[in-house]
Amino acid sequence: MLYFVVTPIGNLGDMTYRAVETLKKSDLILCEDTRHSKILLSSYGVEAPVMSYEKFSEVKKADYIIDKLKEGKTISLITDAGTPVISDPGSYLTRRLKEEKLDFSLVGSGCAAISALVLSGMDASSFSFAGFLPEKKADRDRLLDKFAKVESTLIFYVSPHNLIEDLAALFDKLGSRKACLVREISKVHEEATDFILGSVPESLTIKGEMVLVIEGYAGLGADLSKLTVKEHFLKYIESGMEEKDALKAVAKDRGVSKSEIYAEIKGANKS
Would residue 194 count as lying in a domain? yes
Q: Strand 153-158 to strand 50-52: parallel, antiparallel, or no bridges (unpaired)?
A: unpaired
Same domain, 201 and 236: no
CA atoms within 13 A on the CB side of 258: 7
Residue 65 lies in a domain: yes
Residue 154 placed within a domain: yes
**Reported pTM:** 0.81
User: Are residues 14 and 62 both part of a single domain?
Assistant: yes
What tens digit of pLDDT does each residue of 36-48 get? 999 999 999 999 9
Cα 246 to Cα 73, 114, 117, 268, 269: the distances in Å are: 39, 30, 26, 16, 16
DSSP class of residue 75 equals E
Among 202, 219, 236, give the residue marking a domain's end: 219
Sign, Cα dihedral of 122, 127, 133, 139 = negative
Residues 181 and 247 in one domain: no
Judging by DSSP bridges, how do beta strands 178-183 and 210-214 pair with one another? antiparallel
Q: Which pLDDT band, with edges at 50, 70 and 90, does 219 fall under?
A: low
Q: Which of 219, 242, 261 is the last residue of a domain?
A: 219
Instruction: For residue 206, tell me if it sits in a domain.
Output: yes
Alpha-carbon distance of 94 to 182, in angstroms, equals: 14
Domain boundary among 75, 109, 143: 109
> Which of the four pLDDT bands, split at 50, 70 and 90, describes residue 233?
confident
- Looking at the fold, whether 215 and 241 belong to one and the same domain comes out as no
DSSP assignment letter at 234: H
- Same domain membership, residue 257 and residue 165: no
pLDDT of residue 203: 85
CATH value at residue 160: 3.30.950.10
pLDDT in tens, 60-112: 899 999 999 999 999 999 999 999 999 899 999 999 999 999 999 999 988 99
Same domain, 44 and 92: yes
Tell me, yes or no, whether 116 lies in a domain. Answer: no
pLDDT tens-digit map of 157-182? 999 999 999 999 999 999 889 999 99
Looking at residue 218, its pLDDT comes to 67
Tally of structural domains, the chain: 3
Same domain, yes or no, for 161 and 214? Answer: yes
User: Do 231 and 205 reside in the same domain of the chain?
Assistant: no
104 and 9 share one domain: yes
Range of the domain at 155: 127-219
5 membership: H or E segment, kind and range = strand 2-5
The whole-number average pLDDT for the span 218-240 is 68
**Which CATH number is 35's domain given?**
3.40.1010.10
Domain-embedded: residue 13: yes
Helix-strand-coil split of the chain, %, nearest 5:
45, 20, 35
The answer to the question of residue 192 being in a domain is yes
Instruction: Say if 256 falls within a structural domain.
Output: yes
Do 50 and 92 reside in the same domain of the chain?
Answer: yes
Q: Name 80's Cβ contacts closer than 8 Å, sequence gap at least 6.
A: 7, 32, 33, 36, 37, 88
Residues 11 and 30 in one domain: yes
Q: pLDDT exceeding 70 applies to what percent of the chain?
A: 94
| Domain identity same for 12 and 105 | yes
Q: Which residues of 159-196 are buried (b: 16+ CB within 10 A; e: fewer)?
A: eeeebeebbebbbebbbbbbbbbbbebbeeebbbbbbb
